[in-house]
């Protein structure tokens, strides 16, 4: 009999891990023996691996191995130094696992050369797949008390290695859980979004992670000392991107690689993991957060790639209302001032443990659907056979005159324009308290941006019934610029009803809550590999996708769209004059420009959502010009 998640909640009343402490390390020491190995890879390089073995192996018990491979250190080092936690919740330790942690090739105490997003050789040489295979094979033969089964998991970069390790995986690798995994650092994860450079995150990350480590070492890297907490001001004063190298204080090799490859050339294409995810036989649970500003693209696309390229492999997608790693680092109840009504992380943690219990220890099947996702707005979990849901139907919203948003195509000419000034870019958040990338901006009130003259606002009618969207958000704009280049940022927004302080939401009355937003570097509108300038004042089509959503716009709410051309310092400033490589732009290249968005029969600008009809509702058809269910108050 399959166990439901409700049953699991009763069976395992586990919560988030306690804060690490010396006392907690002593608990681990009491239950485990620690071993440190230098595992030889097929080319002779040795990979440093810490292994924690339950004391019960001395009494004949056998346990599966749970492996994490990381570039962020397996510390603490030394046989007498124990980790404070071996897994995010103590239930893993109670259930019985052998925990293995490995410094990936070229990082910390492992030998070899480290390569960011190491290209996959598809079995023709050494890569992260072969290193994983060799490590698993060695662990099975040399670690006592293992039951011959291995699982892998990891968040962010370790999630990338968990997915990578599944490629033509070792026969003993039975389950993997790539969580917030990186898939493509140019198309959508971390460092770029549709070709637009993520300045704030990239600078913050590589100012520490980019320090050279020519020999194995357990010494941590020094972080960058910012002179201010105001990220907007810091990066504005930084000036052109070429000035960044002067700030680091060391030879930052990968940053220099980034600057040499502004387009989606062979360098970046080789680092795209998606086409290589073949031969994945391990059961897979891909995990992501709807509010992950770093790696939301990765889990959605890695899930699709593994599912498509390995049709016989069981693949699950779990998406919750979390920021990066929030399913383990927070209760998952709040993000900023958005309340999801329950501690969503608890339910997920139980499901993850049950997944590994099933595939590594033969426990009863969890019965998890192909896609188990949290529906924001309505604040409930939903199960679908796959993602995107097959029942979701396309529903087009058209930008229209006087800032309106219609469900019918335009019948007369209309356009709106604004001046984009690189010296005064639109901020992506109203928070000026930290130089670190904001976690809350993905559900932040957007009124601070809507009040600027360089942000176009389009609002639909008041909804008379719930409007649920699930799947990709597709943008199709007709635009022009007085200059030669432009970025286009589109934001999907949920407008709360009522007056401030007197609505059921209280202080969130009339808030413009961000649901999804993404930038597009306009020069890549026709080709990621071969950018080209805009012809001044010429209407030009720009199409791109926002990352998927699962969100219900509740009754009495409105759907809103923002269109703008900067999102700083999350995204670097586009000079707007034509330079072949923006990383080499000089101060004089940054110019004001008049940008225009068209909404007319020959140049219709539109946003395509994918709607799930409520039970009993008839499906709408865009071809018949169906309308958003609502009443206009314009």
Task: State how far the Cα of 298 lies from the Cα of 189, in Å rounded to an integer.
Answer: 6
Encode pLDDT of 568-605 as tens digits: 999 999 999 999 999 999 999 999 999 999 999 999 99
Task: State how far the Cα of 553 lies from the Cα of 561, in Å rounded to an integer.
Answer: 13
pLDDT score, position 617: 39
pLDDT score, position 133: 98
Task: State how far the Cα of 517 lies from the Cα of 523, in Å rounded to an integer.
Answer: 19
Beta-sheet pairing, 315-320 with 371-375: parallel
Task: State how far the Cα of 184 lies from the Cα of 141, in Å rounded to an integer.
Answer: 34
Surface-to-core class of residue 410, CB atoms within 10 Å of its CB (0-12 exposed, 13-18 middle, 19+ buried)? buried
Cα 174 to Cα 65, 155, 348, 355, 385: the distances in Å are: 10, 19, 20, 11, 22
Residue from 153, 151, 206 nearest 173 by CA: 151
Task: State how far the Cα of 335 lies from the Cα of 307, in Å rounded to an integer.
Answer: 30
Classify residue 112 as left (phi > 0), alpha (psi -120 to 50) or beta: left
Residue from 184, 183, 193, 181 nearest 268 by CA: 184
Can you list the alpha helix ranges (DSSP code H) found in 473-602? none
- List CB contacts of 567: < 8 A, sequence separation 6 or more: 425, 426, 427, 428, 487, 489, 517, 519
pLDDT score, position 471: 98
Omega before 178 within 30 of 0, i.e. cis: no
Q: Which two tokens stand for residue 576?
A: 């707007």
Encode pLDDT of 142-188 as tens digits: 999 999 999 999 999 999 999 999 999 999 999 999 999 999 999 99
pLDDT score, position 507: 61
pLDDT score, position 615: 55
Task: State how far the Cα of 600 lies from the Cα of 262, in Å rounded to an integer.
Answer: 34
Q: Which two tokens stand for residue 451?
A: 């009040």
According to DSSP, residue 434 is labeled -
Q: Which two tokens stand for residue 63?
A: 């346990």
Encode pLDDT of 428-486 as tens digits: 999 988 899 999 999 999 999 999 999 999 999 999 999 999 999 999 999 999 999 99
Domains and CATH numbers, the chain: 5-183+273-384 (3.40.50.1820), 393-631 (2.60.120.260)
What averages of pLDDT result for each successive group of 10 residues across the chain (634 residues)? Answer: 34 38 89 98 98 96 98 97 90 94 98 98 97 98 98 98 98 98 97 97 96 93 92 97 94 97 98 98 98 98 98 98 96 95 95 97 95 98 98 98 96 96 98 90 97 98 98 98 98 89 62 98 98 98 98 98 98 98 98 98 98 59 33 38
Residue matched to tokens 């637009």: 196
- List CB contacts of 616: < 8 A, sequence separation 6 or more: none
pLDDT score, position 221: 87
| Residue pair 489/565 in contact by the 8 Å Cβ criterion | yes
Q: Which two tokens stand for residue 626?
A: 């169906």
Exposure of 234 in the CB half-sphere (CA atoms within 13 A): 22
Q: Which two tokens stand for residue 214?
A: 């020519």
Encode pLDDT of 508-551 as tens digits: 789 999 999 999 999 999 999 999 999 999 999 999 999 999 99
Mean pLDDT of the chain: 92
């Amino acid at each position: 009999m399959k166990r439901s998640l409700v049953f699991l909640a009763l069976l395992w009343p586990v919560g988030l891990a306690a804060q690490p402490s010396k006392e907690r390390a002593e608990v681990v020491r009491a239950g485990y023996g620690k071993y440190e190995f230098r595992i030889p890879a097929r080319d002779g390089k040795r990979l440093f691996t810490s292994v924690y073995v339950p004391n019960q192996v001395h009494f004949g018990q056998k346990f599966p191995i749970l492996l994490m491979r990381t570039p962020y250190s397996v510390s603490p080092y030394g046989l007498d130094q124990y980790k404070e936690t071996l897994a995010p919740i103590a239930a893993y330790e109670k259930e019985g696992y052998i925990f293995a942690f490995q410094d990936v090739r070229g990082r910390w105490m492992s030998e070899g050369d480290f390569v960011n997003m190491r290209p996959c050789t598809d079995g023709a040489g050494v890569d992260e797949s072969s290193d994983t295979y060799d490590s698993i094979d060695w662990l099975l033969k040399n670690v006592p008390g293992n039951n011959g089964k291995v699982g892998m998991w990891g968040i962010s970069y370790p999630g990338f290695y968990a997915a990578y390790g599944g490629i033509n995986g070792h026969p003993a690798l039975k389950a993997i859980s790539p969580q917030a995994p990186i898939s493509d650092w140019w198309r959508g994860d971390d460092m770029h979004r549709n070709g637009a450079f993520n300045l704030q995150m990239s600078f913050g990350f590589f100012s520490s992670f980019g320090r050279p480590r020519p020999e194995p070492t357990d010494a941590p890297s020094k972080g960058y000392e910012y002179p201010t907490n105001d990220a907007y001001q810091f990066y504005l004063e930084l000036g052109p991107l070429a000035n960044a190298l002067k700030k680091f204080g060391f030879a930052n090799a990968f940053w220099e690689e980034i600057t040499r490859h502004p387009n989606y050339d062979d360098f970046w294409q080789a680092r795209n993991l998606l086409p290589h995810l073949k031969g994945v036989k391990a059961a897979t649970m891909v995990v992501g957060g709807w509010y992950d500003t770093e790696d939301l693209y990765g889990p959605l696309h890695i899930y699709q790639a593994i599912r498509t390229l390995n049709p016989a492999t069981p693949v699950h997608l779990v998406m919750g209302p979390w920021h990066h790693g929030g399913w383990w680092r927070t209760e998952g109840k709040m993000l900023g001032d958005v309340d999801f009504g329950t501690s969503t992380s608890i339910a997920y943690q139980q499901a993850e443990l049950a997944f590994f219990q099933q595939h590594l220890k033969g426990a009863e099947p969890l019965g998890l659907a192909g896609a188990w996702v949290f529906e924001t707005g309505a604040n409930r979990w939903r199960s679908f056979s796959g993602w995107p849901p097959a029942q979701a139907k396309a529903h087009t919203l058209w930008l229209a005159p006087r800032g309106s948003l219609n469900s019918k195509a335009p019948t007369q000419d209309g356009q709106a324009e604004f001046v984009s000034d690189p010296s005064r870019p639109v901020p992506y958040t109203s928070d000026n308290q930290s130089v670190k990338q904001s976690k809350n901006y993905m559900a932040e009130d957007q009124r601070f941006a809507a009040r600027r003259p360089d942000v176009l606002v389009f609002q639909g009618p008041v909804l008379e019934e719930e409007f649920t969207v699930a799947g990709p958000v597709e943008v199709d704009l007709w635009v022009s610029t007085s200059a030669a280049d432009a970025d286009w940022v589109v934001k999907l927004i949920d407008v709360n009803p009522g007056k401030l302080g007197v609505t059921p939401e209280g202080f969130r009355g009339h808030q413009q809550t961000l649901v999804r937003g993404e930038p597009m570097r306009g020069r890549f509108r026709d080709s990621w590999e071969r950018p080209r300038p805009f012809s001044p004042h010429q209407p030009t089509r720009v199409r791109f996708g926002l990352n998927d959503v699962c969100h219900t716009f509740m009754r009495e709410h409105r759907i809103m769209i923002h269109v703008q051309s900067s999102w700083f310092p999350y995204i670097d400033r586009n000079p707007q004059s034509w330079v072949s490589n923006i990383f080499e732009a000089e101060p004089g290249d940054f110019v004001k420009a008049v940008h225009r968005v068209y909404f007319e029969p020959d140049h219709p600008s539109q946003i395509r959502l994918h709607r799930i009809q409520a039970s009993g509702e008839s499906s709408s058809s865009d071809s018949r010009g169906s309308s958003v269910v609502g009443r206009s108050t314009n």
